[in-house]
C-alpha cells in the first residue's frame, strides 16, 4: 500500500500535530507509546512496530507494540539477548535488515522472525544527549528497504517517544532518567499482569485480553495504565470488559 | 564498585532460602555499593510499615524517624512507588522533606537512595540506603542498586510463600533477576491473581515457590500456567488439572490467529 506523496505528507503533519498536542497535556506515557506505534505502522507502511526500553540492568524490555500477538511479543523479547534492537541500543546507530533471507547477524532472532512471516526489520535508537535509552523496532512482511526519508520519519517518532518519557508529568524527579524509565517499565508490568487476570476470568487469549482493555479505555476515556491497575487490584468489575 | 561480586552476593542471598536472606541483600549493598548502611521495610497494611532488617543502628533509626514523622524520601517512595534519590539531605537547598530533614541531621546521613520494591501493581516495600557523605550514585552504581532491589523482592516474596521441599532455585533465576523482565512471568502472575484472588506479590510468590519446589525456572512454571497445564489449588500449590473445559478454551500461550486487533 503506497500512499500518494501529498496524502502522506498530510498524514505526517497530522500525526506530529497530534503528538505535539499530547505532549503539552497531562498524557500517559503508555497511551502515547501505543499511539506512536500505530503511527509507525501507518506512516512507514510497516506491518508491526514496537518500543523497547533499557531496564538499566543491561537488558531491553518491550513497553509498547502496535499489536500484542504472542509471536510478535516474543520477537521483541528475544532482543534482550540478540537482534537489531539490541545492536541499535548498544551502538546508538540505526540498524537495517532489509532482507532477513540473507541476514546472518542474529541467527536466533532471524529464524523466529521469518517463522512469524516477517521479511525485513529495522531498529532506530532512542537517543538522549549522550545516552541511548531504547529502540524503535519496525517489521515488514515483505522485503523492504527504508529510504532516508522513511528513516528520518521513524527517527523523529523515536525521538518523540524519548521526549515523552522525559516530560511525563507523573515523574516527580525529571532529572532522574533512571527513575523515569523504571516507571514506564512498571506500567508495562501492570499491563501484563492485567492481561493474565482477564485471560483467566474471561477464558480468552492474552492478545484478546489486551484488546478488551484498550477498547474499554478508549470507550470510557480513561488511561490504559489505569484500567490495567484497576483490573489487577480488583477495583473494576471485569465483567464490564467482557460486555 | 564491583558488579560481579555484588551480583554473586545477591544471587547467594536469593538462592539461600534463608530467613536472613533480606539482611544478606542489605549487607551486599554496603559491601559493594558506596553506601554506609541499608535497610528493608515492608508494607504491612495500607498505612502501616514494618521494618524487616537493617545493617546498622543508623539505618534503622532513619527508617523509624521517617515513618513516625510521616515525612522523608522513604515515605515518599512508599506512597508513590517511585525511586527517590537525594544527593544531600543536609543541603539547605533540599526542601522536599522539611520535617524529616531537621531530624535527619542528627543521624549523620547525607546521601539517601531509596528504591521501591514493586511487583507491578503491588508495592511490597522499599530498599533504603544512606551514606554519611553527600553525593549521587553513578550509572553503574544505580544499576547495582536496582539489582539489589530485585533481589530484595525475591527474598521478601519467600517470606510470603515459604518453600517446603526444595530443589533450590535454578541459577538462571537468581543470577541476574532477569525473570522479572519476562512478560510471561507477569501474565502468569495475573492468571494466579484471578485464580486465587491474590495480590500480585502473593501470586508471584506462588510462582517462585513452585519453581523452588521443582527445581525448574520461574519462566518454565509461568509457561505452564499460561498454557493451563498448571493451576493454583486451595492449598496454595500449583498443580496440574482443574480445567474441565480444556477443549473449549483458547490456549493463551498459543493463541489462534485473530488478525490485527485494531485497524490503524
Residue B2 has pLDDT above 50, yes or no: yes
Q: What is the least distance, in Å, from the CA of A50 to any CA of chain B?
A: 14
- CB-nearest to A196 from B119, B178, B189 is B189
Minimal-distance CA residue of chain A relative to B138: A178
B window 98-137, beta carbon within 8 A of A: 118-121
Question: Number of Cβ pairs closer than 8 Å across A and B?
Answer: 148
Report which secondary-structure segment, H or E, holds A93: none
CB contacts of B80 in chain A (<8 Å) are 172
DSSP B253: T
Q: What is the pLDDT of residue B221?
A: 93
What per-residue confidence (pLDDT) applies to B93?
87
Which of A183, A232, A238, A242 to mutate to test binding with chain B, by most B CBs within 10 Å of its CB? A232
| Ranges B176-185, B192-201, B223-232: which has the least confidence | B176-185
pLDDT lower than 70: segments of chain A:
1-4, 168-176
The residue among B167 and B99 whose pLDDT is bigger is: B99
Residue B122 is predicted with a pLDDT of: 84
Which residues from A are below 8 Å from B111, CB to CB?
Answer: none
Q: Do A193 and B143 touch (CB under 8 A)?
A: no
Are A173 and B85 in contact (CB < 8 Å)? Answer: yes
Least confident stretch, A176-180, B28-32, B171-175: B171-175
- Does position B246 have pLDDT exceeding 70, yes or no? no
What residue segments make up the domains of chain B, in order of their start?
Answer: 3-160, 171-248
pLDDT at residue B234 above 50? yes
Rounded to an integer, what distance in angstroms lies between the CA atom of residue A216 and that of residue B243?
Answer: 28
CB-CB neighbors (< 8 A) of B256 in chain A: 205
> What Å distances lie between residue A204 and A92, A116, B13, B252, CA to CA?
39, 22, 38, 7
pLDDT (0 to 100) of residue A58 = 73
Chain B residue numbers with beta carbons less than 8 Å from the beta carbon of A132 are none
- Contacts A189 to B, Cβ<8 Å: 118-120, 186
Q: Is A1 helix (H, G, I), strand (E, B) or coil?
A: coil
Alpha helices in B105-257 (DSSP H): 139-160, 171-176, 183-196, 200-214, 218-226
Chain A within 8 Å of B247 (Cβ-Cβ)? Answer: no
In terms of Cα–Cα distance, which of B180, B162, B257, B255 is closest to B217? B180
Return the SS3 of A27. coil
The helix/strand/coil state of B133 is coil
C-alpha dihedral (A41, A65, A228, B235), degrees to nearest 10: 150
User: What is the C-alpha R_g of chain B?
Assistant: 20
Ramachandran bin of A234, using left for φ above 0, alpha for ψ from -120 to 50, beta for the remaining angles? left
Question: For A204, which of B118, B176, B250 is closest by C-beta distance?
Answer: B250
The confidence band for B78, taking pLDDT boundaries of 50, 70 and 90, is confident
ipTM of the complex: 0.80
Query: By percentage, how much of chain B surpasses pLDDT 70?
Result: 83
Longest Cα pair distance anywhere in chain B, in angstroms? 67
Question: Rounded distance, CA A28 to CA A168, Å?
Answer: 7
With CA atoms as reference, the chain A residue closest to B264 would be: A38
Query: What is the rounded distance in angstroms from the CA atom of residue A76 to the CA atom of residue A65?
Result: 9
pLDDT at A128: 84
* B251 torsion bin: left (phi>0), alpha (psi -120 to 50), beta (else): beta
Whole-angstrom distance, CA of residue B139 vs CA of residue B259: 42
Are A199 and B177 a contacting pair at CB < 8 A?
no
Query: Does residue B248 register a pLDDT over 60?
Result: no
- Judge contact between A61 and A80, C-beta under 8 A: yes
Q: What is the mean pLDDT of chain B?
A: 83
Residue B187: partners with Cβ closer than 8 Å, 6 or more residues away: A192, A193, A195, A196, A199, A206, B222, B226, B252
B261: which chain A residues are within 8 Å (Cβ-Cβ)? 67-68, 207-208, 210-211, 214
Residue B258 grid coordinates: 485473530
Task: Give yes or no for a contact between B90 and B106, defined as CB atoms under 8 angstroms apart.
Answer: no
- C-alpha neighbours within 13 Å on the C-beta side of residue A82: 10
| CA separation for the pair B151, B177 (Å, rounded) | 7
- Please give the sequence-ordered ranges of beta strands (E in DSSP) within chain A, or none if there are none: 48-54, 60-65, 95-97, 120-128, 131-140
pLDDT band at B161 (very low <50, low <70, confident <90, very high): low
Question: Could you give the domains of chain A?
Answer: 5-169 (3.30.450.40), 188-242 (no CATH)
Q: Does CATH number 3.40.50.2000 belong to domain B3-160? A: no
Which of A23-27, A107-111, B35-39, B178-182 bottoms out in mean pLDDT, i.e. has the lowest?
B178-182
Q: Please tell me the distance from the alpha carbon of residue A79 to that of residue A82, in angstroms, as a whole number.
A: 5
- Chain B residues lying within 8 Å of A179, measured CB to CB: 82-83, 85
Q: What's the confidence (pLDDT) of residue B134?
A: 95
Helix, coil or strand: residue B139? helix
Flag if B250 and A41 touch (Cβ within 8 Å): no
Amino acid at each position: 500500500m503506497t500512499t500518494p506523496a501529498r496524502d502522506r505528507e498530510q498524514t505526517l503533519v497530522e500525526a506530529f500535530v497530534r503528538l505535539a498536542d499530547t505532549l503539552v497535556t497531562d498524557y500517559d506515557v503508555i497511551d502515547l507509546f501505543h499511539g506512536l506505534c500505530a503511527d509507525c505502522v501507518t506512516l512507514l507502511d510497516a506491518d508491526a512496530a514496537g518500543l523497547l526500553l533499557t531496564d538499566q540492568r543491561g537488558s531491553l524490555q518491550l513497553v509498547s507494540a502496535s499489536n500484542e500477538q504472542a509471536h510478535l511479543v516474543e520477537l521483541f523479547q528475544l532482543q534482550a539477548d540478540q537482534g537489531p534492537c539490541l545492536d541499535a541500543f548498544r551502538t546508538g546507530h540505526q540498524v537495517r535488515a532489509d532482507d532477513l533471507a540473507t541476514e546472518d547477524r542474529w541467527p536466533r532472532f532471524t529464524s523466529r522472525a521469518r517463522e512469524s512471516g516477517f521479511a525485513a526489520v529495522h531498529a532506530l535508537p532512542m537517543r538522549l544527549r549522550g545516552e541511548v535509552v531504547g529502540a524503535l523496532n519496525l517489521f515488514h512482511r515483505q522485503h523492504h528497504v527504508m529510504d532516508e526519508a522513511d528513516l528520518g520519519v521513524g527517527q523523529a517518532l523515536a525521538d518523540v517517544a524519548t521526549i515523552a518519557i522525559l516530560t511525563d508529568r507523573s515523574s516527580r524527579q525529571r532529572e532522574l532518567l533512571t527513575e523515569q524509565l523504571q516507571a514506564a517499565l512498571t506500567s508495562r508490568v501492570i499491563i501484563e499482569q492485567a492481561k493474565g487476570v482477564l485471560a483467566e476470568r474471561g477464558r480468552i487469549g492474552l492478545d484478546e485480553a489486551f484488546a478488551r482493555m484498550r477498547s474499554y479505555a478508549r470507550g470510557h476515556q480513561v488511561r490504559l495504565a489505569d484500567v490495567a491497575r484497576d483490573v489487577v487490584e480488583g477495583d473494576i468489575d471485569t465483567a464490564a470488559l467482557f460486555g | 564498585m564491583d558488579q560481579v561480586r555484588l551480583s554473586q552476593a545477591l544471587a547467594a542471598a536469593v538462592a539461600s532460602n534463608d530467613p536472613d536472606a533480606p539482611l544478606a541483600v542489605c549487607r551486599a549493598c554496603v559491601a559493594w555499593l558506596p553506601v554506609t548502611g541499608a535497610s528493608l521495610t515492608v508494607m504491612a497494611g495500607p498505612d502501616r510499615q514494618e521494618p524487616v532488617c537493617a545493617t546498622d543502628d543508623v539505618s534503622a533509626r532513619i527508617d523509624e524517624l521517617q515513618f513516625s514523622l510521616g515525612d522523608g524520601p522513604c515515605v515518599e517512595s512508599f506512597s508513590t512507588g517511585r525511586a527517590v534519590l537525594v544527593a544531600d539531605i543536609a543541603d539547605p537547598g533540599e526542601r522536599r522533606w522539611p520535617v524529616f530533614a531537621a531530624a535527619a541531621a542528627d543521624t549523620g546521613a547525607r546521601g539517601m537512595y531509596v528504591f521501591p520494591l514493586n511487583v507491578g501493581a503491588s508495592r511490597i516495600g522499599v530498599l533504603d540506603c544512606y551514606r554519611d557523605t553527600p553525593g549521587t550514585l553513578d550509572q553503574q552504581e544505580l544499576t547495582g542498586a536496582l539489582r539489589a532491589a530485585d533481589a530484595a523482592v525475591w527474598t521478601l516474596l519467600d517470606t510470603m510463600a515459604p518453600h517446603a521441599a526444595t530443589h533450590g532455585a535454578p541459577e538462571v533465576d537468581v543470577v541476574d533477576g532477569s525473570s522479572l523482565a519476562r512478560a510471561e512471568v507477569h501474565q502468569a502472575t495475573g492468571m494466579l491473581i484471578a485464580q486465587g484472588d491474590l495480590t500480585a506479590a502473593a501470586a508471584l510468590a506462588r510462582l517462585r515457590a513452585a519453581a523452588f519446589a521443582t527445581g525448574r525456572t520461574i519462566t518454565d512454571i509461568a509457561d505452564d500456567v499460561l498454557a493451563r497445564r498448571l493451576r493454583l489449588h486451595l492449598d496454595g500449590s500449583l498443580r496440574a488439572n482443574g480445567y474441565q473445559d480444556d477443549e473449549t478454551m483458547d490456549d493463551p500461550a498459543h493463541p489462534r490467529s485473530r488478525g490485527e486487533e485494531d485497524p490503524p
